[in-house]
Structure 1
């Protein structure tokens, strides 16, 4: 059942089913080339089927055979489910939740992976504390060839519950899928990923969780998130849809924030988030202009102004294009003198 804002209801696990502590759910779509590494990183920390469900949920891949990888690497330990048709990333995430039976759910993309001690470290906050809704660690960004690019920010020096976390996560995305685990009962309470979102469905979920539950932070970087040059995100950037999706997610998040704080405070947080992503879009536009990619630059600039029409954003937008037009004119003049 789909509720308000395209958020599906998550039913409880049927009674009588033996429940492990972990459900490691691995969504895939045309990423079998990386799946072996993903599975091996999980199986290296396998604590047995009584404590850990491991399942690959494939969104009807068309370019490779993830089931063959599962059969070879999983050797019967990893279950496999293929969607009868391509349902899209967000719906596949929700299928992962619905198919999970563990008390704590880890959605690990089929091209990401975890580092040693991930499950050991992130199990600790849930032991003896029923109030913790989710826990996450720092993550490392890697490229297609596993080169470490950079590490996510240190939210606090020691592990523990993050104070005022909702105000921080509500203004900018700071969590990636491989680094976070969520109590299944939280999904049952607040619903799954919004079907109205694509690029920002995960960020909206992390904000929703933080609005209603305490969130634990582990300072060690224990997960790796892969950045692809030719990803769905890259295609969304060209059209500006990534920023449009972010704006929509901010509006959805504000509705939940208003349930937990004064409306004025919720609106101010949303304003800060829109301002942040206006500048993010302008930086993307500037990078596009440096490659003479005017289509992407114009799409990102347009979405930046939809996020915020503050004086600073307007000034920076004008400055960006004036500077690049002047550079273009200088280059043309230089070429004509040759």
Structure 2
């Protein structure tokens, strides 16, 4: 039995001794996103140090709406590997396949619709070389929409690059890392296992980063060198409309609790639940402005389930009354139009 055996996490086996290992493994999971994959691959290939230093491979979860292999062949020209799952496995198992197939000492999981900016690999490689004690290194990221328009830059966690101060508590209160912005030593995955399968659509990466931070220092790069895409049709975008995103985050907060010091676990978990209750309220406000009734209600309910306190119930009730008033006005207007 390996040291990372767990009923809900894949065991990540060490790379065979006979394998020639590059420094980097850039593993790109895809599923029905080939229209973005060209941009993703171009951003990596523009920084390619060569096959002896970097493995680049696309792992497709049996896409049915497009042909990622054709994009790989067009742009990669033999430089980029391609593996297609024999059937759709779900995104967490596809991540597991990426980790299992990686052979580099540093692993970068880069979603097939995200990108990296120039300097990403050079800057983070320097962080690992200068700080052999760190288990992972991440940078700030830029949130972009489905049309490549930049929206916001992730908040500055500290004024200078370096090992993140008080990293565990800060990471356990809110998700401050998006997957394309972080690189992990492969040996860490070998010790800790893969992503937790109890999470259905949102937050599996957050649990992983907290798991790593509970055992190893984390390096932080202040320059925003990764681009993270959020679109209404993505898995995370759809989950917001049903409230499943917050339900998953409640599960993650419960799982994260086991990684925290016992004397701080309850306090930190309560702060995390409060933070995501107000995130749900903010999402509800956006949905109500767009007239999305069911999505608004879903986020209001999840906000209250996260943190059933007066400070959450009051704005939730106000939003619900606002929603009912809009529905009533709409019904009255329709009545006048039918006269």
**What's the TM-score bracket when you normalise by the shorter of the two chains?**
over 0.9
Write out per-residue CA displacement over residues 166-188 of structure 1, whole angstroms, 9 at most, x where no aligned residue. 11111111111111101111111
| Alignment partners' CA distance in 1, 2:69 and 2:330 | 53
| Alignment partners' CA distance in 1, 2:97 and 2:300 | 35
- Number of the residue aligned with 2:239: 236
- Number of the residue aligned with 1:17: 19
Residue 307, structure 1, aligned to residue 306, structure 2: yes
Aligned-residue RMSD, C-alpha: 1.9
Q: Unpaired runs of 5+ in structure 2? A: none
Alpha-carbon offset, residue 73 of structure 1: 0.7
- Number of the residue aligned with 2:72: 70
1:20-39 alignment to 2 at 5 Å?
20-39=22-41
Write out per-residue CA displacement over residues 284-327 of structure 1, whole angstroms, 9 at most, x where no aligned residue. 12222223322112222222222111121112211222234345
Write out per-residue CA displacement over residues 62-115 of structure 1, whole angstroms, 9 at most, x where no aligned residue. 011111111111011111000111001111111111110000000011111111
**How many residues are matched?**
334
- Number of the residue aligned with 1:296: 295
- Number of the residue aligned with 1:251: 254
- Number of the residue aligned with 1:221: 224
TM norm structure 2: 0.93
- Number of the residue aligned with 1:159: 161
Kindly indicate whether the alpha-carbon contact (under 8 Å) linking 2:297 and 2:320 is maintained by their aligned counterparts in 1: no
| Alignment partners' CA distance in 2, 1:328 and 1:226 | 33
Deviates more, 1:223-232 or 1:53-62: 223-232
Q: Unpaired runs of 5+ in structure 1? A: none
Alpha-carbon offset, residue 220 of structure 1: 0.7
| Secondary structure of residue in 2 paired with 1:127 | helix
- Number of the residue aligned with 2:176: 174
Alpha-carbon offset, residue 238 of structure 1: 1.9
- Number of the residue aligned with 1:7: 9
| Alignment partners' CA distance in 2, 1:38 and 1:317 | 39
Kindly indicate whether the alpha-carbon contact (under 8 Å) linking 1:58 and 1:82 is maintained by their aligned counterparts in 2: yes
Kindly indicate whether the alpha-carbon contact (under 8 Å) linking 2:241 and 2:298 is maintained by their aligned counterparts in 1: yes
- Number of the residue aligned with 1:268: 267
Residue 110, structure 1, aligned to residue 129, structure 2: no
| Secondary structure of residue in 1 paired with 2:170 | helix
Kindly indicate whether the alpha-carbon contact (under 8 Å) linking 1:5 and 1:194 is maintained by their aligned counterparts in 2: no
Residue 284, structure 1, aligned to residue 286, structure 2: no
| Alignment partners' CA distance in 2, 1:172 and 1:129 | 25
TM norm structure 1: 0.94
| Alignment partners' CA distance in 2, 1:230 and 1:333 | 32
